[in-house]
Structure 1
Amino acid sequence: MNIIKKLKKEWFLISMAFAIVLAILTPDVGRSGGWVHLDLLTGLGVALVFFLHGLGLSPKAIKAGISNWRLHIYIQLATFLFYPLIWVVLGESFLAYMPPALAFGFCYLFVLPSTISSSVAMTSVGKGNVPAAIFNASLSSILGIFITPLLIQLFMGYEGVELDLMASVTSIAQLLLLPMIVGQLARPFLLAQAEKHKSVVNKVDKYVILMIVYNAFCDSVANGIWQEFSLGLLVTSFAICLVILLIMVHSIQWGARRCKFDLPDEVAAVFCGSKKTLAAGIPMAKVIFAGDPALGMILLPIMLYHPIQIFYCAMLANRYVKQKEQNEQLATNQR
């Protein structure tokens, strides 16, 4: 029974693995332009996901977190400066020892914005500053619409990657920002219904991601991309993602303490600053790398990084809860 409960709890990660296996077996079914036209369905699905994100964002909670400007600057620097510096330092090594598409996948991972839902959820579980997490996760997603394509152009434009920067920003804004704004405008009218069906609404983004993953891997399999990808390279990619996450999480944690943030702010900084978005990352990649048959390999690092960050940050959130309880107990004893 415990195994069944764990499988149900991790249904999304299991479904992602199943989608990849299904893509290997049935590439012609889910590929772009195939008889299912999954590429069109995923576009509509992404618009729905960000409409629901906009619907769920509380203006009151965001306003409550705006004033903590030192924390906001720190989190955004972690996302859009500290991570990209990894590519500046190690980019040549990635390109020397990996297929170009996979190396660019790591570059893409480093320049992505933070997540919204899991950053806020982990901050809440870890008893952190939730209003600040909501503000920063939302701000990161909006900034990423402009900064991510700009950094891709800066880092990859000299390696034969053709990117119309303004067209990419416009397309991503239409795909992500416009539905979010519409969701905010519709909030007074539809929020009650969304709250009523919260269990379904909270899973919509996961269903859309599964469709996009299946579509991306069907495209890559149909184009023979994975013939150059070995099991050893897969294991190496997983190890790199794990090491990067551990370094970044604990570097951000160390820096937060040097900045003398209190524990709730430290929790928000760690979970918002170390996360990278799969929900926005995959649709943005479909715009930035439109028509690239190697899209499946480009997406591999973020697909590996996503479950690693969820598992490790969940463990870290539990540690923060225990730390908060210990601090409260110590304060009680000193009275």
Structure 2
Amino acid sequence: MTLRKLLPDKFTLALVCTVAFASLFPCRGSAATAFNGLTDAAIALLFFLHGAKLSREAIVAGATNWKLHAAVFGSTFVLFPVLGIALHPVLGHFVKPWLYLGILFLCTLPSTVQSSIAFTSMAKGNVPAAVCSASASSLLGIFLTPALVSLIIGSHANGGASSFSTVGDIVLQLFVPFVAGQLMRPVIGRWIDTRKEILRFVDQGSIVLIVYVAFSEAVNEGIWHQLSAGALVGIVIANAVLLAIALLLTTHGSKWLGFSDEDRITIIFCGSKKSMASGIPMAKILFGTHAGLIVLPIMLFHQIQLMTCSVLAQRWGSHTKAEPVQRVANAKATGTVQ
């Protein structure tokens, strides 16, 4: 393993620079109002593109393996929240209350899409099933995440607003653009598939903007008077513990349940990851001015999961020989979804 694999990716570095810029030059007053409106538009654009990029054919190709999908959804929306609650006596020693709420919020998020599929492909797993599970997880998260937040975090979310109001906001700002993008795929799908680099820049630019606004609000609320270097180290430790347990349980649990090697790889990578692309917009909607503190665990978990899963995927991929049919399926699936 080279040192390069342990270094943050360019997107993570961009987020770090955004946090630093927001700390020095937070938006206030009328500028904050304008940026909030721009952020709402960016969130809608982000989920519109998610919907437009999603290939229905790829989902259908992997939709029949319901036992695998049940295992992934169970890990994502049941195992993680239970771990977050059960580890409170340990995590409470490492992080402050608001940061622990950020970890609980992290536990309610859906799986990633692009990186789950990429790592599954790299490790020679069942890529069509990964496309289906990761995409369905992202879609279900629009509804399940606010429900879980309301259940385990309660009145801390959205200043005590009702769960019905919160779900309504989520549906309006995330689900409606997602469905619009999916409906437009027959018209713009080919254009999108040939411009993945440009669209990745739009995706990441939207998240950078959301992070800037969230941290501007947090800085205005005095985040750096509440957060110490020790607290940051505590978040890293808590995230590492959470990811390690999730990887161990999905690895041994999928083996105990009798899944094939290809399906086990899919369960491990789809069931142990959390989506920063979905989490940061949801945090802004659900937690308002407290979103800056809430998203810190997500940003750090994102980098830890990328480094860890990259090493695992390369190691497993180098020792696994995929069958020709599986390689063809992998190529078809990875050609339709980024």
Q: Is 1:40 matched with 2:37?
A: yes
State the one-letter code of the partner of 1:306: H
Higher relative contact order (CA 8 A, sep 6+): 2
- In structure 2, the residue matched to 1:25 is 24
- In structure 2, the residue matched to 1:115 is 112
Percent identity of equivalent pairs? 39
Secondary structure in 2 aligned to 1:61? Answer: helix
TM-score between both structures, scaled by the size of structure 1: 0.89
- In structure 1, the residue matched to 2:278 is 280
Cα deviation 1:140-161 (Å, max 9, x = unaligned): 1222122211221121226796
- In structure 2, the residue matched to 1:256 is 254
Match of 2:85 among 42, 64, 88: 88
**RMSD of the TM alignment (CA)?**
2.5
Residues 32 and 91 from structure 1, CA distance in 2 versus in 1: closer, same or farther, beyond 3 angstroms? farther
Q: How many angstroms apart in 2 are the aligned matches of 1:73 and 1:227? A: 43
Residues 6 and 118 from structure 1, CA distance in 2 versus in 1: closer, same or farther, beyond 3 angstroms? closer
Contact kept? 2:59, 2:131, Cα under 8 Å: yes
Q: Is 1:102 matched with 2:96?
A: no
Query: How many Å apart are 1:323 and its aligned residue?
Result: 2.2
Match of 1:194 among 183, 192, 195: 192
Query: How many Å apart are 1:10 and its aligned residue?
Result: 2.4
Q: How many angstroms apart in 1 are the aligned matches of 2:217 and 2:87? A: 29
- In structure 2, the residue matched to 1:183 is 181
Aligned length: 321
Cα deviation 1:182-224 (Å, max 9, x = unaligned): 1111111111211232211122211111111111111111111
Structure 2, unaligned stretches of length 5 or more? 324-338
Residues 156 and 117 from structure 1, CA distance in 2 versus in 1: closer, same or farther, beyond 3 angstroms? same
Cα deviation 1:33-59 (Å, max 9, x = unaligned): 525722221221121121111111111
Give 1:1-335 correspondences, 5 Å limit.
10-27=9-26, 29=27, 31=28, 33-34=30-31, 37-91=34-88, 94=91, 98-157=95-154, 162-290=160-288, 292=289, 294-325=290-321
Structure 1, unaligned stretches of length 5 or more? 329-335
State the one-letter code of the partner of 1:21: A
Contact kept? 1:172, 1:287, Cα under 8 Å: yes
Residues 286 and 233 from structure 1, CA distance in 2 versus in 1: closer, same or farther, beyond 3 angstroms? same
Secondary structure in 1 aligned to 2:87? Answer: helix
Range with bigger deviation, 67-76 or 207-216:
207-216
- In structure 1, the residue matched to 2:329 is none
Secondary structure in 1 aligned to 2:160? Answer: coil
Residues 199 and 159 from structure 1, CA distance in 2 versus in 1: closer, same or farther, beyond 3 angstroms? closer
State the one-letter code of the partner of 1:106: I
Q: How many angstroms apart in 2 are the aligned matches of 1:200 and 1:39? A: 24
Query: How many Å apart are 1:88 and its aligned residue?
Result: 2.6
Contact kept? 1:91, 1:107, Cα under 8 Å: no
State the one-letter code of the partner of 1:307: Q
Q: How many angstroms apart in 2 are the aligned matches of 1:159 and 1:41? A: 25
Contact kept? 1:32, 1:219, Cα under 8 Å: no
- In structure 2, the residue matched to 1:332 is none
Q: How many angstroms apart in 1 are the aligned matches of 2:117 and 2:7? A: 22
Residues 97 and 263 from structure 1, CA distance in 2 versus in 1: closer, same or farther, beyond 3 angstroms? closer
Query: How many Å apart are 1:302 and its aligned residue?
Result: 0.6
Q: How many angstroms apart in 2 are the aligned matches of 1:173 and 1:141? A: 13
Q: How many angstroms apart in 1 are the aligned matches of 2:254 and 2:150? A: 30
Query: How many Å apart are 1:98 and its aligned residue?
Result: 3.7
Query: How many Å apart are 1:306 and its aligned residue?
Result: 0.6
State the one-letter code of the partner of 1:75: V
Secondary structure in 2 aligned to 1:50? Answer: helix
Range with bigger deviation, 155-164 or 194-203:
155-164
State the one-letter code of the partner of 2:201: K
Contact kept? 1:252, 1:273, Cα under 8 Å: yes
Q: How many angstroms apart in 2 are the aligned matches of 1:47 and 1:179? A: 6
